A and B are shown apart, each in its own frame.
Chain A
Amino acid sequence: MKKFKFGTIFVLALVFVVAFGLSPVRAESPSEGGDLVVALGEDPEHLNPALTTGYPVAAATANVYSALTWRSEDGEAQPDLAKSWDVSDDYLEYTFYLQEDVRWHDGEAFTSADVKFSMEELLANYHGRFQDVAERIADIETPDDYTVVITLEEPYAPFLSSMTVFDAPILPRHLLEDVDDYGDADITTSPVGTGPFQFVEWERGDRIVLERYDDYHGQVAYMDRLYYNILPDTASRTAALETGEVDYIMGHYFPRADIPRFRENPDIEVWQGIRIPALWFAFVNHEHPELGDPLVRQALMHATDRDLIIELSQEGLGNYKIGPMGASFEFVDFPETNYENLYPYNPDRARELLDEAGVDSLDIEIIVDPAREDLMQAAEIMQDNFRQIDVNLSIDTQEREVMIENVYEKRNYDLSMQSFTSGGDPASGYHRLYTTQDFGTPFVSATGYSKEEVDELLSEAASTPDVEERKAVYEEALNIIAQDVPILALYEEESVDVNNAKLRGLRESLDVRDKLNKIWWSE
């Protein structure tokens, strides 16, 4: 009896050990099913990503369309519609080998003709960022249905990273070749793509509905449906996440002030970091008699408490230990060009530099778009900072359109707060801050700064695909720029991304808007 009991206990114990010890308690595996609700802060103007670079349009269509490549979190180009590619030794010829058997959501076959048509007819004419690439493209050839050969005029370092769905989405030729006005085409409001989700409906101002495309050429989506709920009011947008009505708010649409509250919520995951770097800065008009002097600009850098600006206007999300082109790209980050080493916050030193420049006191204005609260707050902090060195900075709020006219077209300003995205590569987004620019082009340098040497070095850097060589060219260029301080570079932004804590597989792509097919529900 006693023996039997002992044996029973032993067997029971063994069963328990097997049941709990060997079962994969914590190892989750992706599961199919469920819906994902994403909040958008604004209704897209249409759903054609080839005609605009607007944020909501790309957000709503990045999973309907695909492109030759996509960029993983580390920024590397990954195969998408192109299953592989060859690059010639002189970096002038790119041969893309396309996936076969890819079908558009309407059943037509996808071929290299779609790629050529999209790039030549649509993107080169209408897509703001692709136009920079198109200027360097000499020729696009399609030797067969599944090969595309792109020849460049000169090497262009960010070329492969410009082939994503955000910079070069591929649209169906068969639905667009006979259309006179692309803006009026059916596809502009009901998209037909090759992406992991297909379009179901768009209730304007309310929501956009997508569903899984089972014949997708890559990882078929886990979610059954994808809803983009349009919630323009920030308070109701964040409340919707708390109540579970919405599962995911991309950083672009998440109000910074709510971050501390959501960090304390165990049902919500708050991700923080730098994905596509963006620089916050103030343009300086070099035609201004005092501001044209590099000593004065260095003094203003010393006088600006960049750390305080990040703490107060960005809830601490940002990095002020940066050089002229930030610090996120390793190949443009050098200790000797870092503004925190060169011009740390030091009002006394700032005053000395002003004295050296023979400037007693200064009355200047800063133009700010009042809709940009972060820029307004940064300007107010600079106003308070500058008072300590006898520089009277008055804030002039101008609506975006007026600001563009005064700053870029007329250059009728002293300082102006701005933020520019890098576009994923300094050559795409940051070179325009320091190269010689004519009057009138919006969103390039408005300073009037012009140095032949810098222009040549930056142009060389853009056409040097080898990273180590490129880094050496940048070092030379940035050493000149860091002494001239053409703009007051404040910080590089860190972004947040906020979602239901039960979601898995987010943020595998560099841009949070695409590859939502990789997301699944844990439980």
Chain B
Amino acid sequence: MSNNSSKDSSEINKIWYYFRRKKLAMAGLVIVAMIFIMAVFAPLLAPHDPHSITRHRFEAPGTADHVLGTDNMGRDILSRVIWGARVSLLVGILASVTGTIIGITLGAVSGYFGGWVDNLLMRITELFMTIPRFVLALVVISFFGTGINRLILVIGFLSWPGMARIVRSEYLTHKSHPYVESGRVIGMSDWRLIFIEILPNVMPQVVVVATLDIATAILLEAGLGFFGLGDPNLVSWGGMLSLAQGYLRRAWWMSVFPGLAISLAVLSFNLVGDGLNEATNPRLQSEGFNTAESKLSGGKT
């Protein structure tokens, strides 16, 4: 355990090595990076105030002032797409983090202790998996009201079951590994074993699932926005789409650009997630595993 940090960095190097070689995953990473830049620097990048309402409505894309055109209230669509990245990313990431924390806790406890605890928690997990998530989110949001904090919490609380199952299966295998056995022999507490000893070894799988969960959360947020349940005071891609459906024939650009933004965001997080999965899973690292391994370790094996 003394060489933990160097082991971690070599592990990251290894994952990055495999990840880098996947063209689609890299493309996804580039798009994700662009969305991040858009979200962080929205006030600098957006040419107009996204809330500023004018009489210049339904202007077609391509003019110097409004590159992506204007909507039914004369607002600049480019600026709204840029600002929309903030809400999508914020909800996507924070909801995924919320779901991950819940999923790890339940999955770890379930997998580590087994027995009736495992049985009970997994039945609850299955129950949550069978309830259509989107419908439940619709009901909960319309009952408690809209707002970005509520969106994050609701989506987060609905996206843990997948994580819980993956983490549980990892803990099932890890708990009988020698390092856990020996930890138990020297008197480490269960909680220490679960969260300090085993958890770091499960992290690669957690990151993969969490990345994919971001994509799902973005889609869920857009869906809720489409049904008018987004935060009405913030610009969101789903909300823009919802507005656009009444003007499909009159202003196609109102739906195309936010739609494109949602697709790209979801696609890119999925690509990154898949790439991470392949890069961290030894079975999927398939070709050239040995050569890569020897290159990384400088041939010292």
Q: Which residues of A contact B (CB under 8 A)?
A: 234-235, 255, 257-258, 260-261, 308, 311-312, 368, 370-371, 373, 376-377, 379-381, 383-384, 387, 394-399, 402
Contact = CB atoms under 8 A, between A and B. Distances in A.
B232 interface: yes
A368 B232 contact: yes
A368 B145 CA distance: 11
B301 interface: no
A311 B55 contact: yes
A504 B55 CA distance: 37
21 contacts: A257-B246, A308-B53, A311-B55, A312-B53, A312-B73, A370-B228, A371-B228, A373-B246, A376-B232, A377-B72, A377-B73, A380-B73, A381-B53, A383-B51, A387-B51, A395-B233, A396-B145, A396-B146, A398-B145, A399-B142, A402-B145
Nearest to B147: A396
Contacts of B228: 370-371, 397
Contact of A380 (B53, B57, B146, B247): B53
Contacts of B145: 396-398, 402
Most buried by A among B53, B57, B229: B53
Contact of A257 (B52, B55, B232, B247): B247
B283 interface: no
B114 interface: no
Interface of B: 51-53, 55, 57, 72-74, 142, 145-146, 228-229, 232-233, 246-250
Contacts of B73: 312, 377, 380-381
Contacts of A380: 51, 53, 73, 232
A312 B228 CA distance: 19
Given A370-B232, A397-B232, A402-B145, A257 B53 contact: no
A311 B57 CA distance: 10
Contacts of A395: 232-233
Contacts of A402: 145
Given A311-B55, A387-B51, 19 more contacts: A235-B248, A257-B246, A261-B249, A261-B250, A308-B53, A312-B55, A312-B73, A368-B232, A370-B232, A379-B232, A380-B53, A380-B73, A381-B73, A383-B51, A397-B145, A397-B146, A397-B228, A397-B229, A402-B145
Main secondary structure of the interface of A (DSSP, over half): helix
B169 to A, nearest CB: 41
A126 B71 CA distance: 45
Contacts of B142: 399
A338 to B, nearest CB: 24
A394 B233 CA distance: 6
Contacts of B57: 312
B246 to A, nearest CB: 5
Nearest to B74: A312
Contacts of A394: 233
A212 to B, nearest CB: 37
Nearest to A315: B72
A429 to B, nearest CB: 28
A248 to B, nearest CB: 21
Nearest to B243: A373
Nearest to B247: A257
Given A257-B250, A312-B72, A377-B73, A384 B51 contact: yes
Contacts of A234: 246
B72 A257 contact: yes
Nearest to A366: B232
A192 to B, nearest CB: 40
Contacts of B233: 383, 394-395
Leading 3 A-B pairs by shortest Cβ distance: A395-B232, A370-B228, A384-B53
A308 B51 contact: no
A503 B248 CA distance: 29
Contacts of B247: 257
Contacts of B52: 384
Nearest to B251: A257
Nearest to A395: B232
A394 B234 CA distance: 10
Contacts of A235: 248
A377 B72 CA distance: 10
A384 B54 CA distance: 10
A371 B232 CA distance: 13
Contacts of B146: 370, 396-397
B229 A370 contact: yes
Most buried by B among A308, A370, A383, A397: A397
Given A308-B53, A311-B55, A312-B74, A396 B250 contact: no
